[in-house]
Amino acid sequence: MNLILMGPPGAGKGTQARRIAETYGVPQLSTGDMLRAAVKAGTEVGKKAKVAMDSGGLVTDDIVVGIIADRIGEADCAQGFILDGFPRTVAQAKSLDAMLAERGLKIDHVIDITADTEALVSRITGRSTCAKCGEGYHVEHKKPAAAGVCDKCGGTLTTRADDNEETVRNRLAVYHQQTAPVIDHYRHGGQFRAVDGMEQMDTVFTKLCAILG
Ligand code: AMP
């Protein structure tokens, strides 16, 4: 199962990708997570990516295409993968088409998780994530029992540096300008579906599973 999860920042791609990965036993490939890890580790890629990430802009296509090309070649992707946050430009989508064709692979599902822009700003600026297990929280909709501590594993909750309002608005603008056109790249293929990301997380997950079968 090779799946692309699309949608604006905050639509729930990461959360849903994590649940699909657990349920279907295929890895979640989040370019955002991989880039944050590279920034934290201080690698060359991390240094190049940091400026764009801090401002809410996009990291260059060659960097993210290179990361994904390496990652889908790893053994755990043999049974499939979930692309979360990639492709984000039409050029990335075309590079992905080429790299899959070269390996005799194809995308089975492209699912767009749709959401309302204003709701996304409040969703993103209120969120935090467990540094240990990745569980997501929100100041209003999903408070942890003890402030700053994960209910599931006791890990510390962290907030992303780019989840402040100014950067979020820029990320949303970038999404509309550069990433929304990627939907048209896939819309006419039989594998494209859209799911309403404003519904409850569990409802969205049920709908995704119904599509994936
Ligand atoms: P995310 O965690 O998916 O919201 O990504 C966080 C940040 O990483 C984005 O705002 C971009 O700066 C960068 N990023 C992640 N994926 C990509 C991509 N496919 N192309 C370019 N930049 C990306």
Using the mean position of ligand 1's atoms as its centre, give its distance from the Cα of residue 114 in Å: 18
pLDDT of residue 117: 85
Catalytic residue flag (residue 127): yes
Domain count, the chain: 1
> How confident is the model over 87-103, as pLDDT tens digits?
999 999 999 999 999 99
pLDDT tens by residue, 156-210:
999 999 999 999 999 999 999 999 999 999 998 889 999 999 999 999 999 999 9
Domain-embedded: residue 128: no
- Is 198 part of any domain? yes
**Predicted pLDDT of residue 71:** 97
Domain of 190 in residue numbering reads as: 2-115+173-212
Does a structural domain hold residue 127? Answer: no
Per the annotation, the verdict on 19 as an active-site residue is no
Per the listing, tokens 């199962």 go with: 1
* Domain contains 69: yes
Q: What is the CATH number of the domain that holds 93?
A: 3.40.50.300
Binding site membership of 32 for ligand 1 (Cβ less than 6 Å) = yes
Confirm whether 31 is domain-assigned. yes
Q: Choose which residue among 60, 82, 88 to substitute to test ligand 1 binding: the one with the highest number of ligand atoms within 8 A of its C-beta.
A: 88
Quote the pLDDT of residue 198: 94
Domain membership of residue 82 (yes or no) is yes
How many Å lie between the centroid of ligand 1 and the Cα of residue 156? 23
Query: Is residue 72 domain-resident?
Result: yes
Give the phi and the psi of residue 56 in degrees, each rounded to 5.
Answer: 90, 10
